[in-house]
Amino acid sequence: MKKFLWLLASLLFLASSAAYAKLIVAASLPDLASIAAYVGGDRVSAFSIARPTVDPHSVEVLPSYMVRVSRADVYLKVGMSLDQWADQIIDGSRNARIKIVDCSNGIAVLERPGKVDASLGDVHPEGNPHCWLDPENGVLVAQTIADALTSADPSGAAAYGANLDHFKAEVAQKMAVWRVTAAAIPNRTILTYHSSWPYFAQAFGFTIAAHIEPVPGIPPNASYLAQLVKVIKEQNVTAVISEPYYSDEAANFLARETGVKLFKITPSCADASPNSYLDHFQQIFDVLKGT
């Protein structure tokens, strides 16, 4: 009888543990993982592959990533050809049960090119993929993630819905503050190294006068830099935003020639913690207030 009761207790414990096992969510970027952690709450364990200091276009595919993804229930992709490297990781994980989610679904895409050829450099045929840099797009991403989590874990639907509503409300509240902050910046005409920032610019009223890259993935030559000097002077550009993984050589040249300030800002948030995604926007504004 005691043996039977012990076995029954063990089975009940295992059943209880299985019922409350967290969904494992893998994401290409920390931004997606952070939103998943917010929406998923204590029902989810989220992690990202790319680090914020690494170019998300060209992440090195490592066996350790495949091992981590082999245990995941959901994989969140940026989409729009940004994270094609993720396909190798997913295939290498041999995880047949994983649910792959394209987080660009429903986004109003900017910079969608017409005809694409080699002269355009590393342009994305589906449009600019850096859509998470508009917090209101973050809300759309959160909805997509909430739907995916509910599909994978129907018993958590109410929790995911409540967390999603809280996320939407927090974004609305913070957007009102950030728009006031942005409006107080005297000069919102900027240069960027790569075309990572059009969604941010559109959301907060910045104008991107030009990019240091003449086309995506191609560094500038002397002639193009001379054109940028002219643009900076004519449009009274005071700030250049460059990602930490790009060379400072061209931006430093422009700074010497025009006095423009260089701000090194990563387009991605720090990590997969629930508040990291929204905290990142405040960090960006704390830097840009120095323009």
The Cβ of residue 204 has, within 10 Å, a number of other Cβ atoms equal to: 23
Spatial neighbors of 131 by CB under 8 A, at least 6 apart, are 80, 104, 107, 109, 110, 137, 141, 199
Q: CATH assignment of 22-177, given 1.10.510.10, 3.40.50.2300, 3.40.50.1980, 3.40.50.300? A: 3.40.50.1980
Q: 280-286: long-range contacts at Cβ-Cβ below 8 A with a sequence spacing of 24 or more?
A: 280/31, 281/135, 281/174, 281/178, 282/174, 282/178, 284/200, 285/178, 285/181, 285/182
Instruction: State residue 199 phi and psi, 5-degree precision.
Output: -70, -40
Cα of 36 vs its chain's centroid, Å:
12
Residue 165 near residue 126 (C-beta atoms within 8 A): no
pLDDT (tens, 9 = 90+) of the chain, 291 residues, equals 444 434 434 443 344 444 458 999 999 999 999 999 999 999 999 999 999 999 999 999 999 999 999 999 999 999 999 999 999 999 999 999 999 999 999 999 999 876 655 444 456 678 999 999 999 999 999 999 999 999 999 999 999 999 999 999 999 999 999 999 999 999 999 999 999 999 999 999 999 999 999 988 889 999 999 999 999 999 999 999 999 999 999 999 999 999 999 999 999 999 999 999 999 999 999 999 876
Per-residue model confidence (pLDDT) at position 271: 97
Where does 185-288 sit in CATH, by number? 3.40.50.1980
Spatial neighbors of 25 by CB under 8 A, at least 6 apart, are 33, 36, 37, 40, 44, 45, 46, 47, 72, 73, 74, 75, 76, 149
User: Which of 30, 279, 37 is closest to 178 using CA atoms?
Assistant: 279
Which segments of the chain belong to CATH 3.40.50.1980?
A: 22-177, 185-288
